[in-house]
């Protein structure tokens, strides 16, 4: 009996120790990420300004994501219109479908879905690319040559994400509304002029501005988290794959958590949005 109690006590203490170590490691990593973000803010204003690489990264983030975001937007618009129509018909409110669709897409569904989709595509790519450069010592070679790899690899990618996320979000919103109109036309023959006037009469400029620009912060999250994990890879190809996976998961979680905070702040500043 005493031996059993001793084993259970040892097992409990070991489990508590593992939890405390994991929590400590997590807090340390958060601190390292905050320090890495601080380096971005400080070095952003310093030379060299890698304009050509920034344009290349904007092309990588933006134009090569148009098809993906177009499909995402079309699916959002069509599915949301189909799902909402039946519910609105029950209450005799089918006429407000365009307005509900526009508010839902522009204020929340469009920005968050677009950012999550881009986090899946870009997070893994950035994390794996920079991680591969780290394990093959390309970053070390750039540092030895005094070429400032942080500017070339990190600042350009983070800025590209911050610039292109709002643009891609507007594109996704437009395609989603187009998909909603297509569904409405096929289901009830709604005229496009009625759809557009109803959709935009309840939207305010602050709705479009705030909820679109917040994706710039989501872009910062995706860029900085992915670059941080790739920049700090240690080991081999297995660790590169782990960094890419963690970049996607971490970026997605931070996007969802920050969205709650941003929406709450927006409600305090602009009232009931």
For 29-78, the pLDDT digits (tens) are 888 888 988 888 888 887 777 778 889 899 988 888 889 999 999 999 99
Mean pLDDT of 174-182: 92
Per-residue CA distances from 161 to 60, 63, 155, 194, 256 (Å)? 10, 12, 10, 36, 17
Scored b (16 or more CB within 10 A) or e, 25-39 reads eeeeeeeebeebbee
Asked if pLDDT for residue 85 goes beyond 90, the answer is no
Q: Which two tokens stand for residue 107?
A: 């204020």
Q: Which of 1, 5, 24, 3 is nearest to 13 (CA)?
A: 5
**CA atoms within a 13 Å half-sphere pointing along the CA-CB vector of 194:** 10
Res 223: pLDDT? 93
pLDDT tens readout for residues 131-140 = 888 888 888 7
Query: Mapping DSSP to helix (H, G, I), strand (E, B) and coil, where does residue 145 land?
Result: coil
In this predicted structure, the answer to whether residue 253 has a pLDDT above a threshold of 50 is: yes
Q: Does residue 98 lie within any of the structural domains?
A: yes
Residues 204-227 have pLDDT tens digits of 887 788 889 999 999 999 999 999
Number of structural domains found in the chain: 1
216 Cβ contact list (under 8 Å, min separation 6): 162, 163, 165, 166
Stronger pLDDT, 55 or 238, i.e. the higher one: 55
| Mean pLDDT value across residues 224-241 | 86
Give the pLDDT of residue 6. Answer: 45
Is 200 part of any domain?
yes
Nearest to 246 by CA among 215, 219, 225, 224: 225
- Give the domain range for residue 54: 48-270
Answer yes or no: is 3 within a domain.
no
* Least confident piece of the model among 19-28, 95-104, 208-217: 19-28
- 53 inside domain: yes
Bond preceding residue 48 cis, omega within 30 of 0: yes
Residue 218 counted as domain residue: yes
* Lowest-confidence pick of 8-17, 111-120, 160-169, 213-222: 8-17
Work out the pLDDT band at 4, boundaries 50, 70, 90: low
Q: Is residue 11 part of a domain?
A: no
For residue 242, being part of any structural domain is answered with yes
Q: Is 17 within the bounds of a domain?
A: no
């Amino acid at each position: 009996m005493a031996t059993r109690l001793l084993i259970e006590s040892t097992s409990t203490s070991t489990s508590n120790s593992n939890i405390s170590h994991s929590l400590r490691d997590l807090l340390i990593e958060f601190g390292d990420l905050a320090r890495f973000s601080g380096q971005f803010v400080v070095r952003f204003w310093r030379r060299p300004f890698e304009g050509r690489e920034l344009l290349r990264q904007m092309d990588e983030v933006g134009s090569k994501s148009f098809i993906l975001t177009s499909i995402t937007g079309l699916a959002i618009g069509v599915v949301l219109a189909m799902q909402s129509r039946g519910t609105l018909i029950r209450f005799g409110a089918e006429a407000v479908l365009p307005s509900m669709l526009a508010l839902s897409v522009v204020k929340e569904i469009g920005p968050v879905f677009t950012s999550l989709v881009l986090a899946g595509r870009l997070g893994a790519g950035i994390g794996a690319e920079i991680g591969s450069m780290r394990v093959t010592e390309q970053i070390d070679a750039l540092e030895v040559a005094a070429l400032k790899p942080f500017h070339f690899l990190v600042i350009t990618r983070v800025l590209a994400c911050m610039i292109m996320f709002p643009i891609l979000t507007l594109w996704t919103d437009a395609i989603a509304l187009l998909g909603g109109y297509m569904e409405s036309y096929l289901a009830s023959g709604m005229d496009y002029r009625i759809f557009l006037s109803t959709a935009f009469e309840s939207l305010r400029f602050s709705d479009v501005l705030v909820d679109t620009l917040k994706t710039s912060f989501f872009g910062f999250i995706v860029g900085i988290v992915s670059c941080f994990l790739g920049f700090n890879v240690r080991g081999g190809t297995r660790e590169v794959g782990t960094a890419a996976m963690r970049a996607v998961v971490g970026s997605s979680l931070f996007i969802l958590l920050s969205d709650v905070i941003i929406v709450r702040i927006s409600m305090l500043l602009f009232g009931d949005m």
